[in-house]
């Protein structure tokens, strides 16, 4: 504290004997690095504060549309339409439609960054639903990272779409089940057919750690609404 007071007194005495131009030149020559740092720190704090206040916290729902170039990602008409349909306030939380995920679980996924990122999202509970072609989802389902739709948590969804359930054979030999219900066939929904994101059909699976099962059900309802077909 004494050193700071002494420094301040000395600098004040130096500046008192200078005219305005000399004072500006002196401050710039000796303190320009300090001033630059203060300016950048101030700008960063303003930017951080703005984004802290305005950026939504958490997700309403996270859907991954794998292996498609269809326009179903964030800010697409499909995205906006669902947000309106579900009554989501996107200023409060995020809605994420990830359509930039490309990997084939029927083949070698080692080193595929899309696959590795997807696994992270599933295991952290970030991802709610995954959409892929039937054979691909069945292969992915053997990893145990999709929810068993016959479980108590998804019983309502299972019964509602019982005629569309897709099964896979578990890779775990200790599994008590010969088949696990891991997907819902979305044939006839607004995503399938000629000129649609999945012309050859698509199946929806729910992440094993999904947190927004209520939104998954609303999403399924949305996909099959006639006005969206």
CB atoms within 10 A of CB 112: 16
pTM higher than the cut 0.85: no
Average pLDDT, the chain: 85
Residue predicted with more confidence, 99 or 174: 99
**Per-residue model confidence as pLDDT tens digits over 13-24:** 666 667 777 666
Give me the pLDDT at residue 54, please.
41
Q: What is the dihedral of CA 26, 29, 34, 39, to 10 degrees?
A: 90
Q: pLDDT at residue 213 above 60? A: yes
pLDDT digits (tens, 9 = 90+) for 30-88: 666 665 666 665 654 454 444 434 445 589 999 999 999 999 999 999 999 999 999 99
pLDDT of residue 177: 82
pLDDT (0 to 100) of residue 51: 41
Predicted local confidence at residue 176, as pLDDT: 76
Q: What would the mean pLDDT of 143-167 be, rounded to a whole number?
A: 95
């Amino acid at each position: 504290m004494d050193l700071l007071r002494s420094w301040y007194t000395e600098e004040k005495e130096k500046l008192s004997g200078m005219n305005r131009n000399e004072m500006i030149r002196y401050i710039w020559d000796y303190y320009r690095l300090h001033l630059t740092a203060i300016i950048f720190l101030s700008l960063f704090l303003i930017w951080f504060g703005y984004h802290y206040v305005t950026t939504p916290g958490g997700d309403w729902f996270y859907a991954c549309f794998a292996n498609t170039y269809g326009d179903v990602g964030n800010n697409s008409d499909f995205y906006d339409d669902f947000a309106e349909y579900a009554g989501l306030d996107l200023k409060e939380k995020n809605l994420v439609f990830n359509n930039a995920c490309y990997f084939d679980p029927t083949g070698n996924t080692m080193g595929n960054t899309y696959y590795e990122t997807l696994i992270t999202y599933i295991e952290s509970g970030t991802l709610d639903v995954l959409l892929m072609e039937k054979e691909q989802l069945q292969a992915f389902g053997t990893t145990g990272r999709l929810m068993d739709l016959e479980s108590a948590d998804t019983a309502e969804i299972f019964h509602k779409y019982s005629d569309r359930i897709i099964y896979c054979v578990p890779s775990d030999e200790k599994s008590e089940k010969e088949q696990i219900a891991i997907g819902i066939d979305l044939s006839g929904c607004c995503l399938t057919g000629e000129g649609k994101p999945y012309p050859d059909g698509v199946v929806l699976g729910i992440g094993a750690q999904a947190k927004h099962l209520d939104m998954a059900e609303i999403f399924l309802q949305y996909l099959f609404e006639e006005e969206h077909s």
